[in-house]
Structure 1
C-alpha cells in the first residue's frame, strides 16, 4: 500500500510565471526519460519481481520507485505554478478581463507566444502527461526484462540520461521556481544512479571509474551545490512504514560516484514541506462550488467521519495516541 502525507518532497521557490520553462519541464515529467517513466518502470519491476533471496534488490527498486511518485507530484506542481497566469495581469477578482488602458495584460496572452498552448486550452493551466513537444507519455517506455542485471543496467542508464536532460533544462531558464525543482531532481537522480550502480557492484560490475555518468559538474549550479553539501546525492529513503525494507544491505559503503561520501539508507522519508492548494483562476472559467453543494459535501463528510469514529474512536484520540 502507499500512503500520502500531503507534503511536497521539496520546497518550490516563488517566482513569476514562465510558460516556456513549464514546457521545458514537461520533458522531465512526461518525456522518454522523465519522472513518469522512472516511476512506472521501477514500480512495475518491483511488482513483477521474482526470487525471495534477492529481496534487497526488490526493496531498493521499490523504494526508489515510491520516491518517483513524489517526484511526479513535485514537477507537476511546479509546472502548474509556472503556468499561473500573466505576471503583468492587473484585473480585478470580480472581472477576469482587463479593461482598455488599465495598464495590465490580457490574462492568457502568454499562451499565444510561449510554451505549449495545450497547457491553457486543455490543461487548465497545469501539467499534462506529455513531453515538451506534446507527445503523450507512453507505457511502451517501461523496461522490465525480468533479468535483474539487465534491469539494473537499464535503470542506471535511465537515471543518468534523466539527470543529463535536467542539467540542460537548468541552463535553459533562470526562473527560481523552475530551478528549485530541477536542482533537487538533479541531485536525487545521482542518488538513484548510486543505488543502481552499487547494486550492480554487488553483482560483480565495477562502476567506480565511470560514475557519475555523465560528468556534468552540476555542483557548479548554486542550488545543486547546496543540496550536494548536505549529502543528498548519497542518501536513499525506504518509504517503508513497517521497517521491513532490506535496501540498506545494498545502499551502503563508499559512494560509486567517488565523491568521498558514504551511502546511507537509514531514513524512512524526508521531512517534506507544506503542500498548498493554489487559488482559483478566474480566466479558467471554473468557479468554486456553490454554497448549497458545499453544505451537502460537509454534511456527507460529517456522516463518514461519524462512522469512522464509531469504529476506531475519535480522530483526536488517535492523533494523541
Structure 2
C-alpha cells in the first residue's frame, strides 16, 4: 500500500514563468531516462521480484521506486509553475478573459512562439506525460529482466543517464524554479547511483572506480553544492511505515562515490515542505468552477456522506458526529 503525505519532497523556488525551461524539464519527466521511467521500472521490478532470501535487494529497489513517485510529483509541479502565468500579462481575476494585459499583450501569446504549444492547448499550462519533443511516455522504456544483477546494472545506467541529462538542463536555464528542482534531483540521482553500485558490490561487481557518472563536478552548481554539503547524496529512505525494510543491510558503509561520506539508510522519509495548490488560470478556463457548480458539488458530497453514515456511522468529517450516537451504539 502507498500513502500520500501532502508535502513536496523538496522546496520549489519562486521565479518568473519560463515555458522554455518547462519544456526542457519535460525530458526529465516523460523522457526515456526521466522520472516516470525510473518510478515505473523500479516498482515493476519490486512487484515481480522473486527469492525471499534476497529481500534486502527488493526493499532497496522498492524504496527508491517509492521515492521516485515523489520525484514525478516534484518535477511535474515545477513544470506547471514554470507555465503558470503569462509573462507581461498582468490581468486581474475580475477582468474579462479577452482583455489585453500590460502593454496590450494577450493572455496566451507566448504559446505561439515558445516551446511546446501542447502545454497550453492540452495541458492548461501544466505538465504532460511526454518528453521535450512532445513524444508520449512509453511503457516500453521499462526494463525488468527478472535477473537481479542485470536489473541493478540497468538501474545504475538509468540513474547515471538521468543525472547527466539533468546537469545539461541545469546549464540551459538560470531560472530559480527550474534549478531548485534540478539540483535536488541531480543529488538524489547520485544517491541512487550509490545505492545500486553498493548493491552490485555485494554481488561481486565493483563500480567504485567509475562513480559518480557522469564526472561533471556538479558540486560547482551552487544549489547542488548546498545539498551535497548536507550529505543528501549518501542518504536513502525506506518509505516503510511498518519498519520491515531490510534495505539498510545493503545501503551502508563507505559511499561508492569516494567522497568520504558514509551511506545512511536510517531515515523513513525526508521531512518535506508544505504542498500548495496553484491559483486558477482564468485565461485557460482552469478549473472553471462557477458558483452553481460548487453548490452541486457540495450537495453531492453531503448526499454521499449521508450514505456513508447510514452504513458505518458518523465520520470524523461530519458536523453531526459529536451530536448523534453511532448506528452501532443506537442498536445496543
TM-score, with length taken from structure 1: 0.94
Distance in 1, Cα, partners of 2:59 & 2:73: 22
Is residue 222 of structure 1 aligned with residue 225 of structure 2? no
State the partner residue of 1:240: 240
Contact 2:10 2:181 in 1 (8 A): yes
State the partner residue of 1:257: 257
Deviates more, 1:285-294 or 1:300-309: 300-309
How big is each residue's C-alpha offset from its partner over 1:159-205, in whole Å with a ceiling of 9 and x where there is no partner?
00000000000000000000000000000000000000000000011
1:292 Cα deviation after fit: 1.9
State the partner residue of 2:145: 145
State the partner residue of 1:164: 164
1:68 Cα deviation after fit: 0.3
State the partner residue of 2:184: 184
Distance in 2, Cα, partners of 1:214 & 1:179: 18
Distance in 1, Cα, partners of 2:302 & 2:61: 43
What secondary structure does 1:92 align onto? coil
Deviates more, 1:179-188 or 1:205-214: 205-214
1:300 Cα deviation after fit: 3.9
Distance in 1, Cα, partners of 2:120 & 2:210: 43
Is residue 292 of structure 1 aligned with residue 325 of structure 2? no
How big is each residue's C-alpha offset from its partner over 1:288-319, in whole Å with a ceiling of 9 and x where there is no partner?
143422331441464377479838878999xx
Contact 2:100 2:107 in 1 (8 A): no
Distance in 1, Cα, partners of 2:189 & 2:310: 43
How big is each residue's C-alpha offset from its partner over 1:181-236, in whole Å with a ceiling of 9 and x where there is no partner?
00000000000000000000000111111100110100100000000000000000
State the partner residue of 1:200: 200
Inter-CA distance 40–291: structure 2 relative to 1 (3 Å threshold): closer
Inter-CA distance 34–6: structure 2 relative to 1 (3 Å threshold): same
What secondary structure does 2:17 align onto? coil
Is residue 136 of structure 1 aligned with residue 139 of structure 2? no
State the partner residue of 1:276: 276
What secondary structure does 1:89 align onto? coil
How big is each residue's C-alpha offset from its partner over 1:267-305, in whole Å with a ceiling of 9 and x where there is no partner?
000111111111111111241143422331441464377
> Please, which runs of 5 or more residues in structure 2 have no aligned partner?
322-332
State the partner residue of 1:123: 123
Counterpart mapping for 1:23-38 below 5 A: 23-38=23-38
Distance in 1, Cα, partners of 2:304 & 2:226: 43
Distance in 1, Cα, partners of 2:22 & 2:123: 12
Contact 1:280 1:288 in 2 (8 A): no
Distance in 2, Cα, partners of 1:308 & 1:112: 53
> Please, which runs of 5 or more residues in structure 1 have no aligned partner?
none
Contact 2:32 2:137 in 1 (8 A): yes
Contact 2:19 2:82 in 1 (8 A): yes
How big is each residue's C-alpha offset from its partner over 1:43-100, in whole Å with a ceiling of 9 and x where there is no partner?
0000000000000000000000000000000000000011112121122212223348
1:16 Cα deviation after fit: 0.6
State the partner residue of 2:9: 9
How big is each residue's C-alpha offset from its partner over 1:253-280, in whole Å with a ceiling of 9 and x where there is no partner?
0000000000000000011111111111
Inter-CA distance 315–10: structure 2 relative to 1 (3 Å threshold): farther
State the partner residue of 1:53: 53
Contact 1:90 1:103 in 2 (8 A): no
Inter-CA distance 308–257: structure 2 relative to 1 (3 Å threshold): farther
Cα RMSD after superposing both structures: 2.0
Inter-CA distance 307–10: structure 2 relative to 1 (3 Å threshold): farther
TM-score, with length taken from structure 2: 0.91
Distance in 2, Cα, partners of 1:304 & 1:35: 40
Distance in 1, Cα, partners of 2:86 & 2:153: 44
